[in-house]
Structures are given as C-alpha cells and as structure tokens.
C-alpha cells in the first residue's frame, strides 16, 4: 500500500492514469509509485547488425538513448511485459526469446529487478510514441559510439545479444510449468 506522502519530497500524494492504470503520483516532484517491489524489463531487438533504440521522452534520463523497456504489471508475465513495452515505445512487434541478464537495484523507495531480454523481430518499422519515446530507430554499434547520451547498460545488452545464443531460454517442460508460472533457464 502506497504512503499518503511522497517518499522523495514529502508532498501529499495524488493519483493519475500512468501506464494504463490509476497510480499514486506526487504532484510536487512527479514521483510515480509503481509498488514496493518493481520488475523492469528491457528488450534488445536486432535487425541484421542493428539494434532498436528509443530516445526517452520522460524523466529519468529524458533525452537519453536506450533499448525499449518499462515495468511489468503485477498481473503480467515478464515476457508479455517486454513485448508490450517494445511495441508501445517503438511500434515494433517482437517475441521474447531469451534472457540476457538481470540487474538488481536497491536504495530507492522500492527494490527493482530489471530483466533484459533478446527478442526476435516479427514486424514493424520503428517510430516514437511521442510520450515515452521521442525518437526510435535501428542503429549499429559503430553508430552508437558516435551518439551522445546512450545508456551503457543498453550497449552491454546489444553486445550480449549480438554475441550469440547464450543466456536463459524459456523452459517448456510440462512438469515445470503451470498457468501463471514462467521459467527461464540454461539451455540443455
């Protein structure tokens, strides 16, 4: 349950539609309460030797280039979340294929785990949504090196996706799955 006051600035919390749901929001500093624990997702979508990037339209890091991503909802599988976020931010449809890495962050108002996926491009041309992203496109690693404000985590994820088939893949063994349960692990 969210506090009545902003954990960052102490202002009384209000609410608004954010990410398709009503959420507690601070009218003072703009903090959005997504929950006590959050799961973020990011997706590397490759087309030939180029990776999909979006330029952030919102804080934090407004104006920075990164792989598309966002937050998984409490009633959403993480692979659905990354596919949805890629679509919403770039107009590109892609299918989650493997997990490249996990980032854990503590010390803010909630603990965050960020899951980075490699996705298979299905269809669509990159374009911004004009809210979360103000630009979108496919870029080579050489092009990224000449661009300003490219997140290092995104560069790492793109290199990992281009490097091969490593990472965790979805496990589909019947005795390990059930509705609402998703397992990623090393390929046998």
Give strand ranges (E) for the chain.
Answer: 14-18, 21-25, 37-47, 50-56, 65-66, 69-71, 93-105, 111-123, 133-139, 168-170, 184-186
Q: Which residues pair with 99 in a beta bridge?
A: 117, 168
Measure the CA–CA gap between 125 and 107, rounded to whole angstroms. 38
| CATH code reported for the domain at 37-186 | 3.90.79.10
Q: What is the pLDDT of residues 8-34, one digit of tens each?
A: 899 999 999 887 788 899 999 988 887
Q: Is pTM, for the whole model, over 0.85? A: no
Q: What backbone phi and psi angles, to 5 degrees, belong to 57?
A: -100, -5
Q: What is residue 96's predicted lDDT score, i.e. its pLDDT?
A: 97
Q: What is the pLDDT of residues 56-70, one digit of tens each?
A: 998 889 999 999 999
Return mean pLDDT, the chain: 89
Over residues 157-172, the mean pLDDT reads 85
Burial class (CB in 10 A: 0-12, 13-18, 19+), 69: buried
Q: What is the pLDDT of residues 104-145, one digit of tens each?
A: 877 666 678 899 999 999 999 999 998 899 999 999 999 999
Residue 161 has pLDDT above 90, yes or no: yes
Class of domain 1-33: mainly beta
* Lowest-confidence segment of 51-55, 58-62, 78-82, 137-141 by average pLDDT: 58-62
Q: Where does CATH 3.90.79.10 sit in the chain?
A: 37-186
C-alpha distance from residue 148 to each of 18, 38, 143, 153 (Å): 29, 29, 10, 14
Question: Between residues 181 and 9, which one has the greater pLDDT?
Answer: 9
Q: Where does CATH 2.20.70 sit in the chain?
A: 1-33
């Amino acid at each position: 349950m969210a506090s009545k006051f902003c954990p960052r600035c102490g202002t009384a919390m209000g609410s608004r539609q954010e990410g398709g749901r009503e959420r507690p929001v601070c009218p003072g500093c703009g903090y959005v309460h997504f929950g006590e624990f959050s799961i973020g997702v990011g997706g590397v979508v490759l087309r030939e030797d180029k990776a999909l990037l979006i330029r952030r339209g919102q804080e934090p890091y407004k104006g920075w280039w990164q792989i598309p991503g966002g937050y998984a909802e409490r009633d959403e599988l993480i692979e659905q979340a990354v596919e949805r976020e890629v679509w919403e931010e770039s107009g590109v449809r892609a299918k989650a294929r493997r997990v490249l890495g996990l980032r854990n962050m503590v010390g803010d108002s909630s603990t965050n785990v960020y899951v980075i996926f490699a996705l298979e491009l299905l269809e669509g041309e990159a374009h911004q949504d004009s809210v979360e992203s103000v630009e979108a496109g496919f870029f080579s690693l050489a092009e990224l090196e000449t661009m300003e404000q490219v997140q290092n985590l995104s560069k790492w994820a793109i290199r990992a996706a281009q490097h091969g088939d490593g990472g965790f893949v979805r496990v589909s063994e019947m005795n390990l799955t059930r509705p609402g349960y998703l397992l990623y692990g090393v390929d046998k």
